[in-house]
Structure 1
Amino acid sequence: MPGPSPVPTTDHVDFVVSQWRQHCPQHDVAAMQIVSRIFRYATLATRDAEQAFRAHGLQQGEFDLLATLYRGGPPHTLSPQQLIDALLLSSGAMTNRLDRLETAGLVTRSPNPEDRRGVRVALTEQGLARIQAAMGDYLPVLEQLISPLSDGDRQTLAALLRQLLAAHDQHSPGALRP
């Protein structure tokens, strides 16, 4: 019985970079090898993840908002500003997303008892059930996406990506703080 197919040693980015090097040798395209792979992988991973979200009637942004409320634990409530900061959205985009989720019965907005000018966003029971079900389909997609990597490679990649993001977040206006 044949074993698993070997993982190719070259990819589309290798092809693109070789073209750049051939036709524009005056440019250093070394960074392109990394950043283009991140962009390309993000596109492919997003496509796969969106299939899991659609199975639950969600778009990625809606999933992200529900997941942000869910992962904070009970009472699954945050302010719109906390959601904006966590999801890197404009206030207008947040309002539109909250409107859709509230209309669908997945979140509620209520006055903030600690600040009468503000509101709190909370998962409804239906929203909690929806995000739990979606997570059940989403996590296997993530596992499949990284299945070619050994445990050691996963840890190394996570550490390297963390290093890049931490450096970027430190120098970006509005950087998120844990």
Structure 2
Amino acid sequence: MGFEEEAVEELYSKVWSHRSAMQRELNRGAHGEVFALRQLAFHGEMTPSKLAELLRVSSGRVSSVLSSLEKKGFVTRKPDPDDRRVVRVALTDAGRAEIECDMEKMRSAVRWIFSQMGERRTREFVELMREFMTYMSICNPGGPRPTPEEVRKAFEENE
């Protein structure tokens, strides 16, 4: 077994399959209210169908999530002024505050982890993650592997 296969096995058995408290918290919001709030904060006002596309869930699921968020005062749904058949979803000030609080908690936890790792190892980790994610962005499972030219171009775009 080459180092590549050993590394894949290590990632699967020790890293990706291990669910830390932080991973569970991130996954909790992957298709629900937290993720919807994050998408609205990042992309701004949008239609429920666009939100469903971003969350990769059904329109029924988005409707349920939006109803819950609306009851909490985190979002509003209103007709599009140009086409009253279209509904637009927007964050309220309370929704914006909620997502900012959520993101700050996550940032604080990651800062603590980095403080434990130290500056040198943190910088190495971030650089290695940037490199890894660049390769992941061009490598399609089951598809042909990127050419050296495609790899070079991907790294130029990510500088």
When residues 155 and 29 of structure 1 are mapped into structure 2, their CA distance, relative to the original with a 3 A threshold, is closer
CA–CA separation in structure 1 for the residues paired with 2:15 and 2:56? 19
**Superposed displacement of residue 101, structure 1:** 0.5
- Residue 24 of structure 2 aligns to which amino acid in structure 1? R
**Superposed displacement of residue 123, structure 1:** 0.5
Secondary structure class of the residue paired with 1:68: helix
Question: Which residue among 78, 88, 97 is the counterpart of 1:110?
Answer: 78
Aligned residue number for residue 126 of structure 2:
154
Q: Between Structure 1 and Structure 2, which shows a larger proportion of helix residues?
A: 2
| CA RMSD in angstroms, aligned pairs only | 3.0
Describe how 1:26-175 pairs up with structure 2 within 5 A. 31-40=8-17, 43-44=19-20, 45-47=22-24, 60=29, 61-72=32-43, 76-145=44-113, 148=117, 149-168=121-140
- Residue 109 of structure 2 aligns to which amino acid in structure 1? V
- Residue 141 of structure 1 aligns to which amino acid in structure 2? A
Contact 1:110 1:121 in 2 (8 A): yes
CA–CA separation in structure 2 for the residues paired with 1:126 and 1:112? 22
When residues 165 and 115 of structure 1 are mapped into structure 2, their CA distance, relative to the original with a 3 A threshold, is farther
Secondary structure class of the residue paired with 1:120: strand
Secondary structure class of the residue paired with 2:17: helix
When residues 162 and 121 of structure 1 are mapped into structure 2, their CA distance, relative to the original with a 3 A threshold, is farther
TM-score (norm 1): 0.59
Residues 70-97 of structure 1: CA distance to partner in whole angstroms, max 9, x if unpaired?
Answer: 123xxx3111222223222222221211
When residues 48 and 82 of structure 1 are mapped into structure 2, their CA distance, relative to the original with a 3 A threshold, is closer
CA–CA separation in structure 2 for the residues paired with 1:113 and 1:87? 25
Structure 2 unmatched runs, 5+: 144-159
How many positions carry a matched residue from both structures? 132
Secondary structure class of the residue paired with 1:95: helix
**Superposed displacement of residue 106, structure 1:** 0.6
- Residue 131 of structure 2 aligns to which amino acid in structure 1? A
Higher relative contact order (CA 8 A, sep 6+): 1
- Residue 10 of structure 2 aligns to which amino acid in structure 1? Q
